[in-house]
Chains A and B, each alone.
Chain A
Amino acid sequence: MLALLGTCLTLPAAAAQWGTLTGRLVFAGTPPTPQPVQVHQDTPYCGQQQLVDETLVVGQEGSLANVFVYLYVQRGQSVEVHPDLAPPPTEPVVLENKGCRFQPHACLVRTGQTLEIRNADVGIGHNTNAQALLTNPKFNEQVSHATPILKTFKKSEPYPIELACNVHPWMKGYVLIRDNPYMAVSDATGHFKISKLPAGQHPFIFWHEASGNLRALPVGNTHTSRRGRARLTIPAGQTLDVGAIRVPASMVGGTP
Chain B
Amino acid sequence: MTTSHRVHRARSTKLPFWNAVGRVWLAAAVLVAAGCDALEPPAFRTNQLQLEACEIAPAYQREISQTLTALFGTPDHPSVPAATDLDQALLNLAAGAPGSDLQGANYGLYRKHCAQCHGVTGDGRGPTARFQNPYPRDYRPGVFKFKSTHHSAQPTDDDLRRVLRQGVPGTAMPAFSLPATELAALVEYVKYLSIRGQLETALIRYVQDELGEEAPADQAGDATRVPLDPATHHAQHETVLQILAEDVMAGWRAAPQLIVLPAPAEVPAEDRAEILAAVAAGRELFYGTRANCARCHDPEDGSRPVERDYWNQAHQDFLDDLAALASSIEKRRLSPGGRDQAWQADLLRLSRGQTVAASLYPVRQVLPRDLSLGTYRGGHRRIDIFRRISAGIAGTPMPSCGPTSSGAPGALTETEIWQLVDYVLSLPAEKN
Contact = CB atoms under 8 A, between A and B. Distances in A.
A250 B404 contact: no
B18 to A, nearest CB: 20
Nearest to B398: A140
Given A123-B289, A167-B295, A144 B411 contact: yes
A227 B239 contact: no
Nearest to B331: A250
Interface string B126-163: 00000000000000000100000001110000000000
Contact of B399 (A124, A142, A250): A142
Contacts of A125: 289-292, 295
A24 B143 CA distance: 40
A250 B331 CA distance: 7
B399 A129 contact: yes
Contacts of A129: 397, 399
B324 A211 contact: yes
Interface string B389-418: 000101111111100100011111000000
Interface string A216-256: 10000000011101000000000000000000001101011
Interface in B217-236: 217, 235
B328 A142 contact: no
Interface of B: 55, 143, 151-153, 205-206, 208-210, 213, 217, 235, 239, 247, 251, 289-292, 295-296, 303, 305-307, 310, 313, 324, 327-328, 331-332, 335, 342, 392, 394-401, 404, 408-412
A135 B143 CA distance: 14
Contacts of B307: 166, 169
Binding site secondary structure of chain B: loop
Nearest to B294: A125
A141 B399 contact: yes
B412 A139 contact: no
A43 B305 CA distance: 13
A227 B213 contact: yes
Interface of A: 40-41, 43, 74-76, 123-125, 127-129, 131, 134-135, 137-147, 150, 158, 166-169, 210-211, 215-216, 225-227, 229, 250-251, 253, 255-256
Given A123-B289, A225-B217, A253-B327, A41 B303 contact: yes
A147 B410 CA distance: 8
B205 A158 contact: yes
Nearest to A162: B317
B412 to A, nearest CB: 7
B411 A142 contact: yes
Nearest to B393: A140
A62 B421 CA distance: 53
Nearest to A41: B303
Given A166-B397, A167-B295, A124 B313 contact: no
A137 B303 contact: no
Contacts of B411: 141-144, 147
Nearest to A249: B331
Nearest to B242: A76
B205 A142 contact: no
Contacts of B310: 131
B291 to A, nearest CB: 7
A249 B399 CA distance: 37
15 contacts: A40-B303, A43-B303, A75-B239, A125-B295, A131-B395, A137-B152, A137-B153, A137-B251, A142-B412, A144-B411, A146-B290, A167-B292, A169-B306, A215-B217, A227-B209
A59 to B, nearest CB: 23
B223 to A, nearest CB: 16
Given A139-B152, A141-B400, A142-B399, A74 B295 contact: no
A167 B291 CA distance: 12
Contacts of B404: 139, 141
A75 B242 CA distance: 11
Top-10 shortest CB links A-B: A125-B292, A137-B152, A166-B397, A127-B399, A125-B289, A142-B411, A169-B305, A144-B411, A140-B399, A142-B399
Contacts of A138: 143, 151-152, 394
A129 B395 CA distance: 10
B328 A253 contact: yes
A191 to B, nearest CB: 26
A224 to B, nearest CB: 10
A76 B290 contact: no
B102 to A, nearest CB: 48
B328 A40 contact: no
A213 B117 CA distance: 36
